[in-house]
Amino acid sequence: MATTKVAIAPMKVAQISKAGADFEIVEREIPKPSAGHVLIKVQACGVCHSDVLTKEGAWPGIEYPRVPGHEIAGVIDEVGTGVFSWKKGQRVGVGWHGGQDNTCVSCRRGDFRNCQNLKIPSISYDGGYQQYMLAPVEALAAIPESLSDVEAAPLLCAGITTFNALRHSGAMPGDLVAVQGIGGLGHLGIQFANKFGYRVVAIGRGPENAALAKKLGANVYIDSKSTKAADELQKLGGARVILATAPNSKAMSELIDGLGPNGELMVIGATFDPIEVTPIQLISGSRTIQGWAAGTPADSEDTLRFAELSGVRPMIETYSLEKAAEAYARMMSGNAQFRVVLTM
Ligand SMILES: [Zn+2]
Ligand SMILES: [Zn+2]
């Protein structure tokens, strides 16, 4: 019997075969978009600390093998049926918000960011550590022309998270706003805080990042290794908002006494360890602690446009897709300056 060889179009994929496994580079067939989905030719994908959830299986219900990555910048290669508002060749990004169900109570209230069945690329479906990926249309954000792919990618999680948390924090121009941690999130948070017109305090460990923090837009630098950062913040009048970006609950706990009246600890550095706070700390000065997760694709577009307008840009180190393991290790080391980005 004659056999016909079907030519498959392979693509390179960096996948995790099971929870806790190392990265492996494999070839897969380029998938076809189903109804309501698009196929994206990925150009760049940022490496976020939350990729640890996929790598180590710390998020419940992940099916393996799974491809991490939720800071995706690329070009639409093909649209599925029923997709009318997006076109082949259009530049798009996908961030943490990988699609909502449109039917839960949060969605019915228009609060898509808090969809109870939120889909997350790299957790609910394969993310951006690959040459092509599928995404539902409700996950797509348009990328402005002037931003390159490697610049846009980190803005789709690190960028939107800091931008959106700050703009919803209640801090007004002129208010004292501290950014804890000068890393992937923090170096963007400092820039956004400066452009929002805050009096910006950067809090880092050690003197190394002082000059850079000021260059990024901090008015004051506090070294939390050599001083008690909460006391230093009180000397400045107390922070209206502290944007806690470093995934270190102990460091966050130590900052709460640095909040001024009605001050808010805005938590975006994700970790499972508890933050310690006494009721008295919260009651005196009516302080609050709030968490914030990314935002919708419309928020992503706001972030990208604001970056375009204001000149906020991520500082990046790029690695090829084949070096995904090395790139991930670099991110985990905490030494990256400051966001690691894979290029395909
Ligand atoms: Zn992220
Ligand atoms: Zn929903």
Confidence band for 70, pLDDT divided at 50, 70 and 90: very high
- The DSSP symbol for 180 reads E
CA of 238 to the centre of ligand 1 (A): 29
**Which ligand is closest to the CA of 102, given by its number?**
2
Its pTM stands at 0.95
Cα 44 from Cα 22, distance rounded (Å): 21
DSSP-based three-state secondary structure for 230: helix
Mean pLDDT across the chain: 96
Dump pLDDT digits (tens) for 122-147. Answer: 999 999 999 999 999 999 999 999 99
CA of 119 to the centre of ligand 2 (A): 9
Contact 266, 290 (CB under 8 A): yes
Report whether pLDDT(280) > 70.
Answer: yes
Per this entry, what is the length of the chain? 344
Confidence band for 284, pLDDT divided at 50, 70 and 90: very high
Residue 94 backbone class (left: φ over 0; alpha: ψ -120 to 50; beta: rest):
beta
Cα 302 from Cα 285, distance rounded (Å): 33
CA of 96 to the centre of ligand 2 (A): 15
**Could you tell me which of 228, 226, 190 has the C-alpha nearest to residue 208?**
226
| Structure token digits, residue 197 | 């017109």
**Which ligand is closest to the CA of 119, given by its number?**
2
CA of 15 to the centre of ligand 1 (A): 17
| Structure token digits, residue 86 | 């997006």
Residue 245 backbone class (left: φ over 0; alpha: ψ -120 to 50; beta: rest):
alpha
Dump pLDDT digits (tens) for 90-129. Answer: 999 999 999 999 999 999 999 999 999 999 999 999 999 9
Taking the CA atoms of 294, 297, 298 and 301 in sequence, report the sign of the dihedral they define: positive
The DSSP H or E segment spanning 160 is helix 160-167
CA of 115 to the centre of ligand 2 (A): 4
Q: What pLDDT is stored for residue 9 in this prediction?
A: 74
| Structure token digits, residue 116 | 């109870």
Average pLDDT of span 305-330: 98
Q: What pLDDT is stored for residue 195 in this prediction?
A: 98
CA of 28 to the centre of ligand 1 (A): 25
CA of 234 to the centre of ligand 1 (A): 31
CA of 177 to the centre of ligand 1 (A): 22
**Which ligand is closest to the CA of 52, given by its number?**
1
Percent of the chain with pLDDT over 70: 98
Confidence band for 2, pLDDT divided at 50, 70 and 90: low
Cα 96 from Cα 294, distance rounded (Å): 7
CA of 50 to the centre of ligand 1 (A): 5
Dump pLDDT digits (tens) for 176-229. Answer: 999 999 999 999 999 999 999 999 999 999 999 999 999 999 999 999 999 999
- The DSSP symbol for 192 reads H
Dump pLDDT digits (tens) for 237-273. Answer: 999 999 999 999 999 999 999 999 999 999 999 999 9
Confidence band for 5, pLDDT divided at 50, 70 and 90: low
CA of 250 to the centre of ligand 1 (A): 21
Contact 72, 87 (CB under 8 A): no
